A and B are shown apart, each in its own frame.
Chain A
């Protein structure tokens, strides 16, 4: 069975400092992995996805994530946090090999706070 574990429920950073949101996955297959963001009172938005191409994936708003098979990790990073990055972030794995079915399995989420 597929699963993801987000290691921190809450991360707080100062504006302009790096962001690291940690995620580990468990998968019987070659996984498809995603990061989604949910701003308050807004819908979920896809930040980036990994689908067995390049292991370093670049997403929107300056975020990127690196797929490390040896560590079963898919951590999300950004060099410099902005106030508008404050939101909840979800690490997600697709439920089927190659994502053929499409339903997603979500981590518990990490709430990112950005201090001025």
Chain B
């Protein structure tokens, strides 16, 4: 069956522009996670959704970052006024529910964002 998909796969943008990254989770998965993988910081948690609500936004690095999820399915991560330090691979994962020790998180291939 279809896995987690993300688009675009690559995005190059100029500093100061806004970008939107999209994640399509596996059908029926209620939990959705965003992570960022960068050279200096490794892989870090950004935000997660249970259904359409985001109980934990603590990982968002600044108020330039926001995310939403509609219809309990697709999620969009928006970065406003991009900075060079935002360059990273943004990974999305989904799982049946939000208990990590019970439900495997399935990861998408990621969106590689380069801010010039």
Contacts and interface: CB of A to CB of B under 8 A. Distances in A.
Whether A and B are associated in the same complex: the answer reads yes
A31 B8 CA distance: 35
Nearest to B4: A43
Interface string B85-115: 0000001010101111111111111100000
Interface residues of B, number: 30
A95 to B, nearest CB: 7
Interface in A65-116: 90, 94-96, 98-109
A94 B108 contact: no
A111 to B, nearest CB: 12
A39 to B, nearest CB: 11
Given A43-B108, A44-B107, A101 B91 contact: no
B42 interface: yes
Contacts of B3: 43
Contact of A104 (B97, B99, B100): B100
Interface in B16-64: 31, 33, 35, 42-45, 48, 55-56, 59
